[in-house]
Amino acid sequence: MKLSERAFPTTRRRVLQLIALASAGGSELARTASAIAAPASADEPWPEMTYRTLGRTGFRGSRLVFGCGAALMFFGKDDLLNAAFDHGVNVFDVGTSDYYRNAESNLADFAKAKRDDIFLISKGLVGLDISPDDVLTEQQQAEAARNWTAALDASLKELGTDHVDAYYVMATNNVSLVRSDAMHEAFVTAQKAGKVDHWGVSTHQNAEAVLMAAADTGRFSLAQIAMTPAGWYDWGAKAVQKDSKPMAQIRPTLDKARAAGIGLIGMKAARHLAGRWMGFGPDRPKEFDAHYDKKLLQAKLSPFQRSYAFVLAHGLDAVNADSQSLEHLRENFTAAATSQTYFA
């Protein structure tokens, strides 16, 4: 289907999609002059990427995950993908065309060329209008399982492949969905068919309960969670969750999930800092400074880089960040690659 033939989704990501269409790219627009560190010299060497084993996948993944959803929604960017790969990024995450438009098809050529050397993740929606507290009926669980399976098949077609390394249940906020036997059976069926190796969940609402449910089931290999230095990020509220503990105090929860074999990938780590261009309120470049020690505050990093470095040093295996330009990629890359050096 051509770009012009796809109906523009009226979803919570509409603002980001509109901004991404602009030439500078969504996340680039969000980075105001007050929030950007001085760019590195073009001849200055990139730092060495660092790696973590991602849960029970056993894969040694780069601590920066290239988030392909917003970055590739409208245009292919193989030069940027190749730059990331050449410098050591080996995990690439995308999502269903029902949400991210052409991102999967725009990733297809790169993913095919690098297939043996990268960990490829996509994700699909279950198509149910449910709230965090709903208890799903057997009929709803069956419908969710069918929709997730259909999303997986559609993603494989868009990506031009018969197999992905992991496929998430996308935007999950409901514990009974995570615990659903029907959903697990759908995954096992897809796994046996050779379509996917590992199951994951992505969540940015009710995330702590979802993560603990996933850990309790013992069925999930990966979880992508919305986390900031100040604590859980709630995408619905476009803010740090009101009752959240700061991230440093959430570490036992993260450790429990990791002990259950779940690799932890952060998202939205810095989104709260850039509200103006996203339509979420004012820019807040110093919002997380109270959580940082003197060494991190004095480091030559932007507020975005500090937030990535902090979450990686306090319980996450990797951070998912979309990159709209080489300069933006390098900024994200540097934060992920050097995160541990700013902490004792």
What CATH number has the domain bearing residue 202? 3.20.20.100
Percent residues over pLDDT 90 in the chain: 82
Residue 197 within any structural domain of the chain: yes
Task: Classify residue 123 by its DSSP letter.
Answer: E
Domain contains 113: yes
* Polymer length of the chain: 344
Q: What is the mean pLDDT of the chain?
A: 89
pLDDT at 14: 39
Nearest in space to 200 (alpha carbons), one of 55, 99, 51, 67:
55
Count of structural domains, the chain = 1
Query: Which of 11 and 247 is assigned the larger pLDDT?
Result: 247
DSSP 3-state assignment of 58? Answer: coil
Find out whether 220 and 169 touch, Cβ atoms under 8 Å. no
pLDDT at 13 over 50: no
Would you say residue 4 lies in a domain?
no
Q: Looking at the domain assignment, is residue 228 inside a domain?
A: yes
Q: Would 277 be classed as within a structural domain?
A: yes
Banded pLDDT at 141 (limits 50, 70, 90): very high
187 within some domain: yes
The range of the structural domain enclosing residue 82 comes to 10-338
pLDDT band at 267 (very low <50, low <70, confident <90, very high): very high
Task: Determine which of 26-35, 146-155, 299-308, 318-327 has the lowest per-residue pLDDT on average.
Answer: 26-35
Bridge-based pairing state of the strands 51-53 and 60-62: antiparallel
Q: Let me know: does 318 contact 91? Beta carbons within 8 Å.
A: yes
Distance CA 254, CA 260 (A): 10
- How far apart (Å, rounded) are the C-alpha atoms in residues 186 and 35? 44
Q: Is residue 99 part of a domain?
A: yes
In a domain, 1, yes or no: no
pLDDT at 86 over 50: yes
Is residue 25 predicted with pLDDT exceeding 50?
no
DSSP class of 80: H
pLDDT for residue 277 is more than 90: no
- Among 22-26, 237-241, 339-343, whose mean pLDDT is lowest? 22-26
